[in-house]
Every structure is written in structure tokens, then in C-alpha cells.
Amino acid sequence: MNTDNTLLSTLGIEVIHASKDYVEATMPVDERTKQPFGLLHGGASVALAETVASLGGFLSIDQEQEICVGLEINANHIKGKRDGVVTAVGKPIHKGKKTAIWEVTIVDEKDDLICISRCTLAILPKK
């Protein structure tokens, strides 16, 4: 997967594992991903979560006939993070013909929960 000149490269997101049932990715907590008060930006966490969910959704569909796009995402930011790395793990909780729902947990190096997110994906026919 070429991530050059994408949001993934801008935020430093690295995919560790990707399959139709499990996706894991990391993201640094640094000047690219912090808000002005020095904490991990909630939007960066959401971008990481949607990246993980979308990749898993993409790997779950018939890529010759279908596309997969984000339809809705929510996130609960549980704990602040000032530096280091966060890891997102996504797993499907629903795989339908027209929608999929992925749950993504984001943790720090100590396995403390930083954010939990749920992303609904629309599965559409290619035009």
C-alpha cells in the first residue's frame, strides 16, 4: 500500500498488520499529532481510528466490484497523551452486505486506554 502524500504519511501512521478481521496501526504523539495544549489531538485519534476501520473494511469487500467509505464515526477520548506512540487495534463487530461496523481501541505503551471509537462503513458498488 502506497501511503506517500496521504494523511497516513502526514501523521506518521504505520500499519503493523492488516486483514479482514484485524487491523493494527501505530501513530506517534509529536508535533504533527498534538493540539496547542501539548496533548494528542482528538482529531488525530479519530483519523487513526478511521484509517484502521477503513483498511479492514476494504480488505473485507470484493475490491473488483465494491468500494468502502466511511459513513459515521464516533470516539470517546478517555485519557490524555503528551508523547510517545499510540497503537490502534480494529476488529469488525458487524459485516453486512451494505454496511460494516468496526470497533477501534487506541492504547499507549502501557496498554492504557486512550480512545475508543466505532466506525460505520458504507459498502457501495463501483461505478
Write down the pLDDT at residue 19: 98
Closest to 40 (Cα-Cα) out of 81, 88, 86:
81
Write down the pLDDT at residue 82: 98
Give the catalytic positions in this structure: 50
Q: What is the Cα–Cα distance from 33 to 6, expressed in whole angstroms?
A: 15
C-alpha grid cell, residue 65: 466490484
Write down the pLDDT at residue 86: 98
Q: Is 41 left (phi over 0), alpha (psi -120 to 50) or beta?
A: beta
Write down the pLDDT at residue 109: 98
Which one-letter DSSP state was computed for residue 5? T
Write down the pLDDT at residue 1: 73
pLDDT average per 10 residues of sequence, the chain (127 residues): 89 98 98 97 98 98 97 98 98 98 98 98 95
Write down the pLDDT at residue 3: 82
Write down the pLDDT at residue 2: 79
